[in-house]
Every structure is written in structure tokens, then in C-alpha cells.
């Protein structure tokens, strides 16, 4: 399959910067990233023409939907941040700001799992996240 340049570049960035996909075959990673990009669920930041950060997310109805399928997006009240990766803390914050403005602020909960903590799931209210980010 031919993928858009943005998908190829985001996939390459993710491969270099996220340990969770190191063993994935190239086509699996490309298809996964393309699903998010094609559904308007990918945010990528560039500086000097190069990608410096990527966030992938889904809107779901319940926390059970997190593990049900990698490709579940119901448009629900929970924002599941599947991946937010960058080498720069300021870029992570900028990605969250873009995500906030792209619909996160109107949801009830936000969830994420950190692979460096054995995929421990964290869930907080959007209001609490907003306070942490300085929006409320």
C-alpha cells in the first residue's frame, strides 16, 4: 500500500522514539499510524521541516474500550491518548495544547498508559488535566 508522506515520516519518528513498537514490522506500524491520521486522530509537530513530536489519540465510551481494539473510536466522552512522544518536554506540552483545542477540553476523562511503567493506566478528569496544564 502507498502511504502519505506524513504517515511515513510520523511512523519513522515513532519507530526511533517509542520502544513500544521496536519489534513491529514496518507495514504494521505504517498501517497503525495511517489509521489515526486517516481518522483525524494524529497530531504531529514540526520544527525546521522535521517532526519533533507525535500524539495519537482516540475518543471512546468506556475504559474497557481501551483494550477492546486498537482501532475503536466511538467519539465518546473519554480521550485515550495512545501515544505522545517527543524528546523535548516543551513539545509534549505543545502537543497537549493542540489536543486540548482539538476536542479534549469537551470530554469528561482522559486516559493514558505509560509503557515505562508496565502499561499502567492513568485516568484523570479533563478538569484536573486542565488545571495541570494551566487552563483552568
Residue 50 pLDDT class (50, 70, 90 cuts): very high
Buried b (16+ CB within 10 A) or exposed e, 42-60: bbbbeeeeebbbbbbbbbb
* Residues 35-45, mean pLDDT to the nearest whole number: 96
CA dist., res. 12 & res. 42, Å (int): 14
Are residues 36 and 82 in contact, defined by beta-carbon separation less than 8 angstroms? Answer: yes
80: its cell numbers: 485515550
Q: Which structural domains are found in the chain, ordered by start?
A: 5-133 (3.40.630.30)
Give the residue among 30, 24, 25 at the shortest CA–CA distance from 42: 30
Are residues 43 and 102 in contact, defined by beta-carbon separation less than 8 angstroms? Answer: yes
* Residue whose grid cell is 500524539: 55
Strand 109-114 relative to strand 78-86, pairing: parallel
pLDDT (tens digit per residue) in 89-126: 889 889 999 999 888 999 999 998 776 656 678 889 99
Residue 111: the pLDDT is 92
Predicted model pTM: 0.90
Amino acid at each position: 500500500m502507498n502511504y502519505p508522506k506524513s504517515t511515513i515520516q510520523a511512523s519513522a519518528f515513532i519507530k526511533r522514539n517509542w520502544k513500544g513498537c521496536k519489534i513491529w514490522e514496518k507495514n504494521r506500524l505504517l498501517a497503525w499510524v495511517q489509521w489515526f491520521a486517516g481518522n483525524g486522530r494524529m497530531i504531529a509537530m514540526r520544527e525546521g521541516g522535521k517532526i519533533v513530536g507525535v500524539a495519537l489519540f482516540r475518543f471512546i465510551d468506556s475504559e474497557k474500550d481501551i483494550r477492546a481494539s486498537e482501532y475503536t473510536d466511538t467519539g465518546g466522552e473519554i480521550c485515550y491518548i495512545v501515544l505522545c512522544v517527543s524528546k523535548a518536554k516543551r513539545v509534549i506540552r505543545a502537543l497537549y495544547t493542540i489536543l486540548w483545542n482539538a476536542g479534549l477540553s469537551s470530554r469528561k476523562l482522559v486516559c493514558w498508559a505509560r509503557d515505562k511503567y508496565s502499561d499502567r493506566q492513568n485516568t484523570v478528569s479533563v478538569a484536573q488535566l486542565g488545571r495541570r496544564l494551566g487552563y483552568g
